[in-house]
Amino acid sequence: MTQRPAAPPLDVLRRRTSAKWRSYPDDVLPLFIAEMDYQLAPIVVDALTAQIAASDLGYAAEPEVLGRSFADFAHRHWGWTVAPDDVRPTTDVSVVLVEALRVLIEPGDGVIITPPIYPPFFDIVPEAGGTVVQVPLRVLDDAALRAGRASAADVWRLDLDGIATALAAGARAILLCHPHNPVGLVHPRADLEALADLAAEHGAVVLSDEIHAPLVHRGVEFVPFLSVSETAREVGIAAHSASKAFNLAGAKCALTVVGSNPMRSAVDRQPEEVTYRTSILGRTAAEAAYAEGDEWLAATVDVVEESFDLLERLLAQRLPTVGFARPAASYLAWLDFRRTGLGDDPAGPILADGRVALHRGPAFGAEGNGFARLNAACSPEVLTEAIDRIARVVGG
């Protein structure tokens, strides 16, 4: 039986050297960055240990095994048929998106993003030579969000009409976050089909960041963008990585996935270094995770859902003025502090007075004013202490 993932005690966690544990003093609970506290999957540890023991730390070779591992994983989990040769590695998902945009748009072209959105999206676009075009998510039920009794699907949806308007005005690419960070929305198939059709109609492309897809919660269907239609494959590129699901961000391996000749040709135009910079350790870890990590991943999703169960209870008991719509994927909670009086950037006073580090809501766009993002992939004890501290700040 697979051992349930667990977080070590705080004194052990504070010995880690990642940004999560080195960005703040030891009196701060760091729940800001998307990194789990849980121990690594044993299968990944074994694979990395064997790689190091063999002194095999050279440049990463052709990704044949990695392509097969991911293709098998995608078929098992999502019923998505991927050709292994259509899977190409690079360092991380941001690089997948930037390098795809470089070969797909002209300088100055509009690139649509849908805030509140993963903050690097604001920087990826100009890095690739594009111009950011914001089409915020539609808010279907703000009252339910404020009351804390909703799911992400009840509250948010892509604004397809707004996207159509932006495309008609000249935008030539869409950065899709699927599942959506920070709100945890898993976009429904109908919206993905409509998005592909809109892109095709206007001669645009869709780049789908699907890094959180392996962490979709029980009973939720994740539909990969490239699987929805032939049109989606013609206009789309998907970005995948084992980094969030298996806590491997520093190992530096992500995947560019395509499914049509136009997109294959586009990726072929990228410099050879885009692939060559992949870490051999990241490749090894991803191969093991995709091939043999299913049981550990399922147990991790169970633990994350239990953490959200606890978070919902704690918010109801101790922070009833904080809104929360339960995400359908990942371990990130988008908390609505607009009724607390903490202002547009509640993470500031929560850090200063409560010594809890949350990700600043305004960094996700103007739609994040009054919000903050909390990482719930921690121990029950740390999550409980964090909410207690925040409650003392909110309560004055």
State the chain's mean pLDDT as an integer. Answer: 97
Closest to 291 in 3D by CA, of 69, 50, 80: 69
In this prediction, residue 396 has a pLDDT band, given cuts at 50, 70 and 90, of: low
Residue whose tokens read 């909110």: 394
CATH code matching the domain that covers 45-292, chosen among 1.10.3720.10, 3.20.20.70, 3.30.2080.10, 3.40.640.10: 3.40.640.10
pLDDT at 62: 73
Domain 10-40+294-395 grouped into CATH 3.30.9.10? no
pLDDT, tens digit (0-9, with 9 covering 90-100), for 107-119: 999 999 999 999 9
pLDDT in tens, 306-320: 999 999 999 999 999
Please write the tens of the pLDDT for every residue from 109-168.
Answer: 999 999 999 999 999 999 999 999 999 999 999 999 998 878 999 999 999 999 999 999
CB 192 within 8 A of CB 281: no
Encode pLDDT of 176-222 as tens digits. Answer: 999 999 999 999 999 999 999 999 999 999 999 999 999 999 999 99
Mean pLDDT score, 230-239: 98
What integer pLDDT is reported at residue 100 of this predicted model?
Answer: 98
- Domain positions in the chain are 10-40+294-395, 45-292
Q: What is the Cα–Cα distance from 376 to 332, expressed in whole angstroms?
A: 6
Say if CB 328 and CB 153 are below 8 A apart: yes
pLDDT of residue 288: 98
How does DSSP classify residue 362?
G
